[in-house]
A and B are shown apart, each in its own frame.
Chain A
Amino acid sequence: EIVMTQSPATLSVSPGERATLSCRASQSVSTKLAWYQQKPGQAPRLLIYDTSTRATGIPARFSGSGSGTEFTLSISSLQSEDFAVYYCQQYNKWPPRLTFGGGTKVEIK
């Protein structure tokens, strides 16, 4: 199983500042990585797939980068609606053994 490790567990950021979230895979997942946002009481929402492609309707302030085992989600100029938990997920393994990171909570500083 590919283990996904996210850091930090909690990130305190002021509105308008930049947030950088990390995700590390225990083995290479190429660029088969997605990011999701989850707000309290809601289902997760796809933000980014294939490491860097924004999903439909996702603002340009969200960007993803990386390859292999190291990945980053950046949120430039945090808005109030961006405070949430973010999960990374790999989909490189076959047969499917789809795994998520433990999440990073972005909170208001």
Chain B
Amino acid sequence: EVQLVESGGGLVQSGGSLRLSCAASEFPFSTYPMSWIRQAPGKGLEWVSIISTSGADTYYADSVKGRFTISRDNSKNTLYLQMNSLRAEDTAIYYCVGGGFRDWFDPWGQGTLVTVSS
């Protein structure tokens, strides 16, 4: 069964940093572009960032550009999101998701909650 398991979420103060990880199993990780998508409490879905299969190409939503960095380690089947200068509006569940390069998002992890206190 395909699994994407996020970790690294938690409570952090405004201005602080967190690093999210997403471990993939039973999934051809190195052949998939990977994305982070977030969902603020009670709100809709917001695409955050995407990385190509090699990691050479990365793109970001304007809301996180310059503060967040996406990366991947194909030897470890792991995706990362380094989040700096966190703001209260970054509070959300962060999902690790396959796809997004001119295609749909699938599969999805279960998400990890990031709470930024002001």
Contact = CB atoms under 8 A, between A and B. Distances in A.
Contacts of A43: 95, 108-111
Interface of B: 35, 44-47, 50, 59, 61, 95, 100-111
Given A43-B110, A45-B108, A96 B100 contact: yes
Contacts of A95: 59
26 contacts: A32-B102, A36-B45, A43-B111, A44-B45, A44-B95, A44-B105, A46-B104, A46-B108, A50-B104, A87-B45, A89-B104, A89-B105, A91-B100, A91-B102, A92-B102, A94-B102, A96-B101, A96-B102, A97-B47, A97-B61, A98-B50, A98-B105, A100-B46, A100-B47, A101-B44, A102-B44
Contacts of B105: 34, 36, 44, 46, 89, 98
Interface in A63-91: 87, 89, 91
Interface of A: 32, 34, 36, 42-46, 49-50, 55, 87, 89, 91-92, 94-103
Most buried by A among B95, B105, B107, B111: B105
Given A43-B108, A43-B111, A95-B59, A49 B103 contact: yes
B108 A91 contact: no
Contacts of B110: 42-43
10 pairs of A and B residues whose beta carbons are closest in the complex: A34-B104, A49-B104, A98-B47, A46-B106, A43-B108, A100-B45, A96-B59, A102-B44, A103-B44, A96-B50
B66 to A, nearest CB: 16
A89 B104 CA distance: 8
Contacts of A102: 44
Contacts of A94: 102
B13 to A, nearest CB: 27
B6 to A, nearest CB: 10
Q: Could you say which of A91, A102, A103 has the most chain B C-beta atoms within 10 Å of its C-beta?
A: A91
B20 to A, nearest CB: 15
A100 B44 contact: yes
A31 to B, nearest CB: 12
